Structure 1
Amino acid sequence: MQQQHLLHLQLQLLQQQWDQLRQDRQLNRQLLLCIQKICYAVVLYAAFVKFANTFNPMNINAKQRHKLRLQRILEPREAFELLRHH
């Protein structure tokens, strides 16, 4: 009788430990899911911003204007140096 009572107490203790472990695992899973959602949100935001800037016609035109401006600035100097060396 005493042995059965001890076994019953051990079983209850194991059941409590098992329930606690399951709750801990659920909490960890929920925490990891929250962290994963935040990471996905940041990555998606960065990707959309990158694509928006890459394919934005105003940015493309600004890059072309910048390139032309640099060509206009650099070409006279190169021509002047070529004349100077000859």
Structure 2
Amino acid sequence: MVRDNHECQQCKREGKVHMDSKKVEGERKSVELNVHHKYEIEDYPQLALVLDNLETLCLNSHNKMHNRVFGDQKKKRWDDEIWWYPPAKIFG
């Protein structure tokens, strides 16, 4: 994180800035950044602490790298509301 100046490297590649949150006295610091292993630890345990294999990413970019997308990200296949009609329109 120090090498990457506490900035998300993926956001930086996209022309955006996402930095680590600041610690406020008496409050819990929010987690903004993660260390990403370019080559997964389970497949390459010998590269776990090799600096060239590590990169600082924000949580959003890190989740995207691992195909962990949450929320309503996928386009709906069809809109169910199209098929709903109030009874007055169906029965006259």
Q: TM-score range by the shorter chain?
A: under 0.3
**Whose relative contact order is higher, 1 or 2, with alpha carbons under 8 Å and at least 6 apart?**
2
Decide which structure has greater helix share. Answer: 1
Superposition TM-score, scaled by structure 1 size:
0.27
Q: Which has the higher strand share?
A: 2
